[in-house]
Structure 1
Amino acid sequence: MVFLGVFYLVWGPLREMAKETSDVLARSYTTLSAYISVFFVLYPTVWYLSETIYPAGPGIFGAFETSVAFVILPFFCKQAYGFLDMYLIHEAEEQM
């Protein structure tokens, strides 16, 4: 349920606030929202596909693949997102 609440906030009222501010900010916000939404969905997907974490599921990922996924996902959710955010802020400042 919280999952849907987060998506509602990100793609609903917060997106409208960005649109009201400026077109540049709205584009940056939409890009970042899409990026984080994809990775927000990937976490439960990896859990579901893992035979180690969810044995009743399809068991596509073994222990090694699950471990690799949970090493890679945080990198893209934190460091790569941070760099993308800083880049878009820099681009927005130049366009304003």
Structure 2
Amino acid sequence: MTEWWLWMYVAAMAGGVVLFTRWRADPCGVPLSEYRVAIAIPLWSGFWYLVMALGGGRAEVAGHTLYWARYADWVVTSPLLLVALTLTATHSLPGRRWGLMSTLVGANVVVILGGLAAELTADATARYTLYAIGVLALLAVYGLIWGPLRAHAHRQPKEIAAVYREAALLLSVLWVGYPLFWLIGPAGAGLISSATTSLLFVLLSILTKVGWSIVDLGRLRSLSGRGRLTVV
């Protein structure tokens, strides 16, 4: 039986696309590029969860079910979330710090590929080594978010810098759930079932893909309403 929560996820992503498309029609001073990123995230993610809801995107590997469609989702949407965060960090600055953005995206891809490689590995030592590499890459992402990217954000007006801090903190907290659920799920210690792991990833991803963008864009739009948002 197809898990109902996969369809719930597809519906949530469709709702996100509709909301961000409506916001894009009335951008409230926020650059259209930020709306395009926000729309692309649920579009891509919703497609791969639709594949899973229809029974695809999975395979039996190393004694458990590998939902490879999740990784196809994450390897695109997680970098896009970092692109969106970088756009907020440099909103009122000249240029977009493409070098820093590329470094963030590259480290994040290592996080995703580390998790995928670990799931594909039957040997426990090798699996946890690959998992550890992914976690170290995630720590590097955090270091960039709270180091150089935060420094750029604080060169902006304090209201926009505050939006960055809130968005960065929320994303940092949410992303802790991914390696945690992987570790306690079937690919790791096996403390929870595959179905429970899927449900947790669904709830977490809704908050990350749509909820986070609502907070980020919503705060920027609210600054426009107070006349404190300047588009460069």
Cα deviation 1:16-51 (Å, max 9, x = unaligned): 11111111011110100011001111100001111x
Give 2:203's aligned amino acid. I
Match of 1:2 in 2: 137
d(CA) in 1 for partners of 2:182 and 2:197? Answer: 8
Counterpart of 2:208 (choices 77, 86, 93) is: 77
Match of 1:21 in 2: 156
d(CA) in 1 for partners of 2:184 and 2:215? Answer: 28
d(CA) in 1 for partners of 2:199 and 2:144? Answer: 30
- Any idea what SS the aligned residue of 1:21 has? coil
Once the two structures are TM-superposed, the CA of residue 92 in structure 1 deviates from its matched residue by 2.3
Question: TM-score, normalized by length of structure 2?
Answer: 0.38
- Does structure 1 residue 53 correspond to structure 2 residue 187? yes
**Shift in CA distance, 6/17, structure 1 to aligned 2, threshold 3 Å:** same
d(CA) in 1 for partners of 2:156 and 2:172? Answer: 22
Aligned length: 92
Counterpart contact for 1:24–1:95, Cα < 8 Å: no
Once the two structures are TM-superposed, the CA of residue 95 in structure 1 deviates from its matched residue by 5.1
Give percent identity, aligned residues only: 27
For structure 2, the 5+ residue unaligned runs are 1-135
Question: TM-score, normalized by length of structure 1?
Answer: 0.86
**Shift in CA distance, 62/91, structure 1 to aligned 2, threshold 3 Å:** same
Counterpart of 1:62 (choices 175, 193, 204) is: 193
Cα deviation 1:32-90 (Å, max 9, x = unaligned): 0011001111100001111x121xx2x33222210101111211111111111111111
- Any idea what SS the aligned residue of 1:61 has? coil
